[in-house]
Amino acid sequence: MERLTLEERQEVQERYPETYFPDPVLEPIWFGKRPDTRIEGKKAVIDQKTNEVFGICSDIYQIVHYEDLVKMTELTVEQMPEFGNIKITPKVFNGGSKLDIIAKFTDVEYEIKKGDFINPSIHIRSSYDLGWKLTSLFGAFRIVCSNGMTVGNVFSKFARRHVVSLDPSLLRDNILEGMGHYSEQVGLWKDWAETKINALVYKNIWDALPFSDKEKEKIENLPETESKMVLSDKKWRDEASLWDVHSIISQFVTHEIKSELRKAELGPIVANIFESVGKECL
């Protein structure tokens, strides 16, 4: 995919008026009392709109504009008419330093267990502060409570820095390939719904999760949206499935975590932990 022109980027911005799109540039870095000495091989990534310094990069780094990635997502999902309507929502964090594009397949519903449906979603991430590589993630939304959760990675691996050799169309190819594996992933989630966890597995999950003791207490007393059950009820916990526990924890991340950035970063962490536990239990 060719990079968008300034006019084309402006057109993308106009279609997503609630999203802040920075105007990043690469500037040389100088130091010294004057300053009069340039740091060779390094540049600063700066937002021309606010003069915010996002990060320091090498000379081989290239800017991949957020608008280019949004447009690429739009073009990609247009190639998937069999999935019906797809809602695209770009979100930025920390003044525009990070981006998360969510493409939600609103017309596609899968029942994981009775009455518990999900929509598939694609998450495309990038950043100007070099904190996030350009990556693709796979997730799902529980329709019962609009609870967004990144359940597992389905796409072939894609994670790259913004170097001059980067071709954003590679991300498109990964998405198209990954959607072919979706039904297989749904089968795994259905297995989660039928897999009860014992006390040792439950403990191992909490040992791996990045929550404080106070947050753990809140999660264990949080009613699951559909069943209204809580993990603090040991009788129910002994009958709960891996999917039930994951749903409650994802519900906490989605609705109780106030920081949008932490919420976005916790999603893949929780997904990887449950994916690992799922492999051990099945």
Q: Are residues 134 and 70 in the same domain?
A: yes
Residue where a domain terminates, one of 153, 181, 209: 181
Q: Are residues 81 and 173 in the same domain?
A: yes
Q: Is residue 246 part of a domain?
A: yes
Give the pLDDT score at 232: 95
* Residue that the structure tokens 């091989």 belong to: 41
Q: Are residues 160 and 131 in the same domain?
A: yes
Q: How many domains does the chain have?
A: 3
Give the pLDDT score at 176: 77
Beta strands 116-127; 98-105: pairing state: antiparallel
Helices (H), 58-162: 66-78
Q: Are residues 277 and 208 in the same domain?
A: yes
Give the pLDDT score at 150: 73
Q: Are residues 46 and 130 in the same domain?
A: no
Give the pLDDT score at 54: 97
Give the pLDDT score at 154: 67
Give the pLDDT score at 65: 95
pLDDT tens, 49-68?
A: 999 999 999 988 999 999 99
Q: Are residues 143 and 211 in the same domain?
A: no
Low-confidence ranges of the chain (pLDDT < 50): none
Q: C-alpha angle with apex 104: 273 to 228, nearest 5 degrees?
A: 60
Q: Are residues 248 and 272 in the same domain?
A: yes
Host domain of residue 216:
190-281
pTM of the model: 0.86
pLDDT tens, 236-254?
A: 999 999 999 999 999 999 8
Instruction: Say if residues 70 and 16 touch (Cβ distance below 8 Å).
Output: yes
Q: Are residues 202 and 235 in the same domain?
A: yes
Residue where a domain terminates, one of 156, 181, 206: 181
Residue where a domain terminates, one of 135, 158, 181: 181
Tell me how far CA of residue 177 lies from CA of 102, 149, 154, 170, in angstroms. 18, 21, 9, 11
Q: Are residues 177 and 73 in the same domain?
A: yes
Give the pLDDT score at 185: 84
DSSP state of 1: -
DSSP state of 209: S
Q: Is residue 50 part of a domain?
A: yes
* CA–CA distance, 96 with 39 (Å, rounded to integer): 26
Give the pLDDT score at 3: 86
Give the pLDDT score at 208: 96
